[in-house]
Structure 1
């Protein structure tokens, strides 16, 4: 009898137990359905999965303004292009190209939040590694930490050169008890360097999976960070090793692809020139795996692949196109006379596609027609660019279309994705660092070391590839589409200032539209001079879009800290950048 409880007693006991449990908060703590906690993720499979998500944030995913392509922040602000399209479409970019930044602009907040999302994902991997299960070996741990710290350094580098110093948060910060108190008074470069130095020392030289960062990509990025701080000797040491010994993921030695245009072709992704790139894939069942960076940046409406193309953004500038003018020796006009009357490229500005037009017959660098879509020149393997019919609003954008990251007709349905609202999603990888960029930065470092002839050698390597006749844009007859004249620097370099000018201009030509120009101008200390010269010239062509625009020194080098972040955390925690 003593082991038995009556029915009434059982109900009473159940009631007492229920009262007891209802007084404890743990009774209310129910695991979230469909969500894994950190304990569950601490396996090798779980950690690798989270690491993939850190890579996945490189293009910003749904937040295009956070992408490492920097087509707005690096190329439009640097004068490679204007916003293009129509004034009313994505009007939040209008003040960016005019250097009239507002602290409340959504695109600036998007850049901030998208980069910190990348930081948060990297920090989660680091925390998981601290409690990793037995199936994570010592070699796994070293590789995963190297990749993670590389990616975290990337996100902080983007924050640094975008906003200057921002709050530094690593895996040691308790997100639940005080992240709001992290102030932005800590210099970021030492933190970025430490992560990249670890990655450079610990990552393998090659990886088994395309897109994974390796030792050499970490070295290239570390050297780049050194260049931004004018640590030229440190950068040169790494560049020497990388150029001599660096290998791609598949073990092939780094080099320049034979044809300039093949560095931007989906069929040629992860080639020997690709040091570190955002990976993309089309027709996988999810358009989220494709490249979303340039879905807006296609010839408008009746452009390649028929109606439905969007939206005429990212129109190359007059100033950029003129920069490809060459001398009789095939060298660039380093004195700036490419914008002078008689040297400017002939355009169809103000003409309809039905109006007669003959393309410019003067000498040009062949990279022009791989970088700028212009009337009368074949647009990849589609048709000759028809001019105004492919421009949404010529008075606002000018006569040119972006071309470098356009997809080929041969790619349709395979390396181009038709499963979304626009056919602009592709399998084209976006290079964050390519070998031509490495060679030209190495040339800069050599100049500062006094090795001007080595710098000339590196620049000539880049120009020699551009001069390959097999890569020239051809008409159906087999003739060159324009008067392509490009030569090497044959006279020894003996003057540092002249050598610097040559290397800097080569970066402008070689890397146009790849998000570098604005940041180059700022680190060289020439942003005020060069950007205001660009705005003064370009505003005469596009007065509605750029008339009265001006770069203000000691202000416009950096974006403002988003006002919503200051409102949330307090102005004693986040100190606004000067001038805002």
Structure 2
């Protein structure tokens, strides 16, 4: 009753104020409550606050009502558009929903998930543009301070535009000078994104006292990624060479692979002075009066299902790894991946077996990264004990027997790094870009340029880390949880086609379930072939995928119909054009 009385009193006082001022002229000129004018922000503190707001978008939850309604397709984990659409994962949970249409390549332009993504991207861009428009008008910034701020805002703008480009392709260019916001989507904005990232690389400092800011090296990595996506190998190589030799995290730690693979996805090791692998993280936090918006809201559906206190999150069984992905982690007798037909044999699962019935996990040789990427029956699930199988799966018949793992927090972190009583929101960062991806991009670049041995050297660095026994999943007695067999490529690479096959496969293994797979398949030009082969295989396991077909136009998603309708000119002429095939 106290709360009701308090809000009733506030409402009453508000109405009294409204009617007492209604006859005065100044009533019409009052600024909206909770909104700052640009004039009020033309200070150093105001611009820094605007810049922080631009960073806030990296958490993927700028709008919404505390649910995953918009955050699920805005989060930089990209699990909906980059993972469910690939051969890595299925929607999971149970039958139906707008994500099913995305998964099956049957998405229409009126799907609200498209509009959520579009609005999120341009919200982030708008925040960057605010900084870029206001900062130069503040007279007491030094030249160095101003370049620092502009470099951060422009690099972040490139990140947001890229986050939209990989989904929609052509997008309208809106910058800090735009006054007519009815701009066409005539082309992919590679040039503009390059210029923004290049400005950051040329003008930002190498380090910052604050964790999580964009520095020179991160801007360089973003620029290199733009080059790689455009197949600009000659431009990418020298930049990647310099980054690998000299690049540092915001805190000045030289870029390097962490000794243990899974430390990338563990809260207590993220952002420390020894965290050498972070290039750009979504810096999540909880219990900070942010109502969960600063935590992993966009992945709050992606936990084992069941509602039990003995399991992390307790809901909702989405983003389930595919059998195809699990099979990809098999190795041969030499500890190398099965590049040509990883589905010829299968990793044993507990599908159809109750949790109270006996089950022996797969005994064949496996890449140890499997059990840091996928939760499977009988294998320790972080420090939550062995994954019990079916008891943690929402519907095995629908989406299979496996659980996601990289977004999940440790039991020891619960209550400290989770949001109050909301067990599905944690401070486990999304690694938007990590140094392993820099090495993978460098390997791909070297192979494309014919430098096959240099490419093999980079791939072996990644495999060497994965082979570190200290980083294996262990049983309570300290023994390896499975038959982990992994080796480096010891034979020289003499064939470019083989080298590229090995590099692409390694990228899948290293970045499994990290939301990049679909976009990789598209940029390699092999999405149709790979994904239809995947559907042929996976439908032998999952009836929910039967009838799904990947067609040529599915390499891009539709421009949201809401945006096409909302941006028509006064005469009814559309500003935006729809992508082919929709």
Per the normalisation by structure 2, the TM-score is 0.91
SS of 2:489's equivalent? coil
Aligned position for 1:324: 329
Contact 1:283/1:413 (<8 A) preserved: no
> Matches of 2:25 and 2:439 in 1, distance apart?
61
> Matches of 1:442 and 1:165 in 2, distance apart?
27
What's the CA shift for 1:442? 0.4
Question: Which one of the candidate residues 74, 85, 97 is aligned to 2:93?
Answer: 85
- 5 Å matches for 1:8-407? 28-61=28-61, 62=64, 63-64=70-71, 65-88=73-96, 91-134=97-140, 136-174=141-179, 178-179=180-181, 181-270=182-271, 271-286=275-290, 287-302=292-307, 305-306=310-311, 309-336=314-341, 338-340=342-344, 343-407=345-409
Contact 1:280/1:426 (<8 A) preserved: yes
Aligned position for 1:568: 566
1:285-325 deviation line (CA, Å, top 9, x unaligned): 33222222321100111456459711000000000000000
SS of 2:185's equivalent? coil
> Matches of 1:47 and 1:396 in 2, distance apart?
50
Contact 2:312/2:408 (<8 A) preserved: no
Greater Rg by CA: 1
> Matches of 2:244 and 2:325 in 1, distance apart?
29
Aligned position for 1:481: 481
Q: 1:251 to 1:166 in 2, by over 3 A?
A: same
Contact 1:323/1:509 (<8 A) preserved: yes
Question: Which one of the candidate residues 553, 559, 563 is aligned to 2:557?
Answer: 559
> Matches of 1:504 and 1:344 in 2, distance apart?
21
> Matches of 2:131 and 2:500 in 1, distance apart?
41
> Matches of 2:238 and 2:26 in 1, distance apart?
57
SS of 1:424's equivalent? strand
Contact 1:44/1:133 (<8 A) preserved: no
Q: 1:186 to 1:339 in 2, by over 3 A?
A: closer
Number of positions where the alignment pairs a residue of Structure 1 with one of Structure 2:
545
- 5 Å matches for 1:462-501? 462-501=462-501
> Matches of 1:490 and 1:403 in 2, distance apart?
31
Q: Which runs of 5+ in 2 are unaligned?
A: 1-21, 65-69
1:446-502 deviation line (CA, Å, top 9, x unaligned): 111211101000000000000000111111111111110000000001110000000
Q: 1:255 to 1:552 in 2, by over 3 A?
A: same
SS of 2:297's equivalent? coil
SS of 1:82's equivalent? strand
- 5 Å matches for 1:440-455? 440-455=440-455
> Matches of 1:320 and 1:328 in 2, distance apart?
20
1:8-58 deviation line (CA, Å, top 9, x unaligned): xxxxxxxxxxxxxx9998883222333210011111111111111111112
Q: Which runs of 5+ in 1 are unaligned?
A: 1-21
Contact 1:375/1:384 (<8 A) preserved: yes
Per the normalisation by structure 1, the TM-score is 0.91
C-alpha RMSD of matched pairs (Å): 1.7
> Matches of 2:232 and 2:501 in 1, distance apart?
19
